[in-house]
Chain A
Amino acid sequence: DIQMTQSPSSVSASVGDRVTITCRASQGISNWLAWYQQKPGKAPKLLIYGASTLQSGVPSRFRGSGSGTDFTLTISSLQPEDFATYYCQQGDNFSLTFGGGTRVDIK
């Protein structure tokens, strides 16, 4: 199995802050990496796929980057609606795994 390690597990930030979340794969996955946002009691929402492609309707303040084993999700200017938990997920070779999640809460 490919393991996905997310960091940090939680971050406290203020509205307007730049937030960066990283995800590391235990082996190379090219760009088969997605990012999701999940709010309490709701299903995950796809933000980015292919490591850097923004899903339709997702604000441009969300940016994904990386390839191989190291990936980053950046929120350029945190908005009140962005306080949530974020997950990375790899899709290489039809065997999928999720990261442990990063909770973004209000400082």
Chain B
Amino acid sequence: QITLKESGPTLVKPTQTLTLTCTFSGFTLGTTGVGVGWIRQPPGKALEWLGTIYWDDDKRYSPSLKTRLTITRDTSKNQVVLTMTNMDPVDTATYYCARTVYPALKGAFDYWGQGTLVTFSS
């Protein structure tokens, strides 16, 4: 059974750095083709891809957010970590992590976490 779960702060302040952890089970990130991606969704708006880390430690980021994002992995803990710097209220969103398999799924994500809502405090 494949599961993913996001964890991290629910409240952040402007200019802070957000760190979210995706803890997964049922698959191994070291398996050829496997990747874990981050996707976010502001309230009432569309999905936005942030980035993906792959089995070979290759990392790909959204061009519009690339300078603010870092994705790392801890294979021994089955975790992937997203770091986003210089947070702004427009970054209020539900953040999801999800699994992909390259090239079998042609870029699609087949298993998703439940998501974690990140909002701002003044």
Q: Could you say which residues of chain A place their CB within 8 Å of the CB of B64? A: 1
Assess whether A1 is in contact with B63, with CB atoms less than 8 Å apart: yes
Assess whether B112 is in contact with A96, with CB atoms less than 8 Å apart: no
- Minimum CB–CB distance from B60 to chain A (whole Å) comes to 4
A42-69 with Cβ < 8 A to chain B? 43-46, 49-51, 55
Residue of B nearest to A87 (CB): B47
Assess whether B47 is in contact with A49, with CB atoms less than 8 Å apart: no
Interface bin, chain A: 20 to 34
Q: Which of A43, A44, A94 has the most CB of B within 10 A?
A: A43
Identify A91's interface contact among B107, B114, B115, CB under 8 A. Answer: B107
Assess whether A91 is in contact with B108, with CB atoms less than 8 Å apart: yes
Mask of B60-78 contacts with A, CB within 8 angstroms, 1/0: 1011100000000000000
Residue of B nearest to A4 (CB): B46
Q: How far apart are the CA atoms of A92 and B100 in the complex, in Å?
A: 13
- Minimum CB–CB distance from A55 to chain B (whole Å) comes to 7
Assess whether B46 is in contact with A89, with CB atoms less than 8 Å apart: no
Q: Could you say which residues of chain A place their CB within 8 Å of the CB of B106? A: 31-34, 49-51, 91
Assess whether A55 is in contact with B107, with CB atoms less than 8 Å apart: no
- Minimum CB–CB distance from B112 to chain A (whole Å) comes to 4
Assess whether B46 is in contact with A96, with CB atoms less than 8 Å apart: no
Mask of A74-105 contacts with B, CB within 8 angstroms, 1/0: 00000000000001011110111111110000
Q: Is B52 an interface residue (CB 8 A)?
A: yes
Q: Is B48 an interface residue (CB 8 A)?
A: yes
Assess whether A98 is in contact with B107, with CB atoms less than 8 Å apart: no
Instruction: Identify the A interface with B (CB < 8 A).
Output: 1, 31-34, 36, 38, 43-46, 49-51, 55, 87, 89-92, 94-101
